[in-house]
Structure 1
């Protein structure tokens, strides 16, 4: 494992972080025992611990499982989730929870909890996200909407329309035709972070970015009806300004974004970060069940279309430096200062 991952793993063991169970194993050289991060046993000295990606690797290295935290059971859970993901991805029609849990040898209610713990979504939600992503691809490539719907695994057009309305916010033809039939309102406004563009569908904010333009919005939705706002977005603008200046008083603004299952898992995790706290890219990767996908998390972070509302500015590097930010590092400092993460007078001294 990389040194940075070792540092993250040790931090997880120190705080007994259950979200890391099954993602890393700590083996104690002086006792010959390996444990999961949440093990309640007294922590050994750091120099006596080495880390493995799995219980099987620790066992192969000559260590034996802790009888107190039973790390082998957690590894079995991870293998079951991985097997379930393969079953869902290989199925023409989404399997039921009963079918999945029977295939992996778990009780349905217990496996539902394990799956959601690891991936942030239930098996049904994962299947819907996968099916919707296939539909998006097929609608762009297929000349017939109905054919694309069935090819994506939907049993009937009605289930796709219900899914699309709930999850994507656009009709099937809009996906195929680059937003055709959608109306997106937009405007720019001055903020403490500089000029910003805000755009919204009827469902919520779909774009909130720094120094952006109508041209980039049209590139995202080339066939949508793009309308400059005449004053109707005032409430959304005011809510965004409060989120930047007084985040503790910020309203819950509606957003309308969609991405891959991985991107959406990252964005959901970002929204879970409490006000006044930060997470590292590695912590986000671990929390969504992909501890090695640190770079991919960074990319998903950068693909966030609604800055501030999905707080990608709360993600920093493991060494405490800020990392990147699409709105510029000075703005990242300002946002973190407004949230109490750093003292305002320390903004200029915070390492980049």
Structure 2
């Protein structure tokens, strides 16, 4: 929080909101101690608390760190997660939890919880996402599926095929052939915010977008069988329309989407935002384990294939402004208004 909103900061402390740890520090004038928002200690009176952007500023003002919540460790935790992400990204071979935690100076079980809280996924899930991304990239360029699998870092084809349908939404060979052998059913539904393309495979929703039609699916999956309508899709489409008209009613809609490890971490953070609340791009970047990747969060939101279902409309600018949206700020403002009602 570069500009501290005292009311929001106090609310974070009252609710012990862990999401604000590392973003604001509360210092108690009567004790000379500063704490992070999630500190479990009894709350002082409001008039005895002043706020600082970070621990360094609180120390400069003459306060000392709380020995119960250890606010100085928050910055170290985030640096450790960022280092772990960099190690996973650069590794040619898999890194086990024990080795990864040791590299960044933490106990394995503690770092496992820390990493998941920061990124929304476990270190192992993050590593699997990296492999799947590399495999998807390689499948587009290798002459054979087997070569792509080994290039992505899998020890054997069987290890990839165990998880490929879940990660890619279709078999590896179908992915390489532009969706060949996969059936995508679609419809365009009327909503109060305009026409909405809704498309799904047998696994779940693969595209939800305003102002699009089946042609966009043909470009994304040129070799898939693209079929209009169907009874199963009708039920799913009705639930998606329900999310547009009254957001937050259907949070269990099945999805068939895939992205890079970072994109998937961002999408997981978006889905974790409660109905009626918003987060800044900086908050989502921190939740995705890359606190400095604020612009990349915007790109990941723009790459979201299922509008409303993965609620990228809940991300706003740090100053409270609505910010950008692939389908226009008017629609974004309307969705946010409905969520707040």
Please state which band the TM-score falls in when normalised by the shorter chain.
0.7 to 0.9
Partner of 2:126: 126
Provide structure 1 residue ranges, at least 5 long, that are not aligned to the other structure: 343-352
Change (3 A) 1:78 1:250: closer
Change (3 A) 1:46 1:255: farther
Residues 4 and 51, structure 2, Cα contact 8 Å, conserved in 1: no
Once structures 1 and 2 are overlaid, which stretch shifts more, 319-328 or 164-173? Answer: 319-328
Partner of 2:240: 240
Residues in 2 aligned to 1:106 and 1:328: alpha-carbon distance in whole angstroms? 44
Residue 141 of structure 1 aligns to a residue in which SS? coil
Change (3 A) 1:235 1:151: same
Partner of 1:92: 92
Partner of 2:53: 51
1:25: Cα distance to partner?
6.3
Residues in 2 aligned to 1:171 and 1:46: alpha-carbon distance in whole angstroms? 60
1:249-308 deviation per Cα after TM superposition (whole angstroms, max 9, x unaligned): 436221111111121112111111222222232332233233333322222222211112
Residues in 2 aligned to 1:185 and 1:241: alpha-carbon distance in whole angstroms? 16
Residues 13 and 38, structure 1, Cα contact 8 Å, conserved in 2: no
Partner of 1:350: none
Residues 126 and 261, structure 1, Cα contact 8 Å, conserved in 2: yes
Residues in 1 aligned to 2:128 and 2:6: alpha-carbon distance in whole angstroms? 32
Residues 177 and 223, structure 2, Cα contact 8 Å, conserved in 1: yes
**TM-score, normalising length from structure 2?**
0.84
Partner of 1:5: 2
Residues in 1 aligned to 2:314 and 2:83: alpha-carbon distance in whole angstroms? 33
Provide structure 2 residue ranges, at least 5 long, that are not aligned to the other structure: none
- Taking the TM superposition and a 5 Å limit, the aligned residue runs for 1:15-164 are 15-16=12-13, 17-21=17-21, 23-24=22-23, 26=25, 35-39=35-39, 42=44, 50-52=52-54, 65-68=64-67, 69-164=69-164
Partner of 1:338: 338
Establish whether residue 185 from structure 1 lines up as the match of residue 185 from structure 2. Answer: yes
Residues 24 and 37, structure 1, Cα contact 8 Å, conserved in 2: no
Residue 199 of structure 1 aligns to a residue in which SS? strand
Residues in 1 aligned to 2:59 and 2:165: alpha-carbon distance in whole angstroms? 50
Residues 187 and 229, structure 2, Cα contact 8 Å, conserved in 1: yes
Residue 304 of structure 2 aligns to a residue in which SS? coil
Residue 325 of structure 1 aligns to a residue in which SS? coil
- Taking the TM superposition and a 5 Å limit, the aligned residue runs for 1:312-331 are 312-331=312-331
1:188-220 deviation per Cα after TM superposition (whole angstroms, max 9, x unaligned): 121222211111111101111111022221111
1:114: Cα distance to partner?
1.0
Residues 239 and 251, structure 1, Cα contact 8 Å, conserved in 2: no
Residue 15 of structure 1 aligns to a residue in which SS? helix
Residues 183 and 227, structure 1, Cα contact 8 Å, conserved in 2: yes
Residues 8 and 282, structure 1, Cα contact 8 Å, conserved in 2: no
Change (3 A) 1:45 1:223: farther
Establish whether residue 258 from structure 1 lines up as the match of residue 258 from structure 2. Answer: yes
1:128-162 deviation per Cα after TM superposition (whole angstroms, max 9, x unaligned): 01111111111112112111111111111011011
**TM-score, normalising length from structure 1?**
0.82
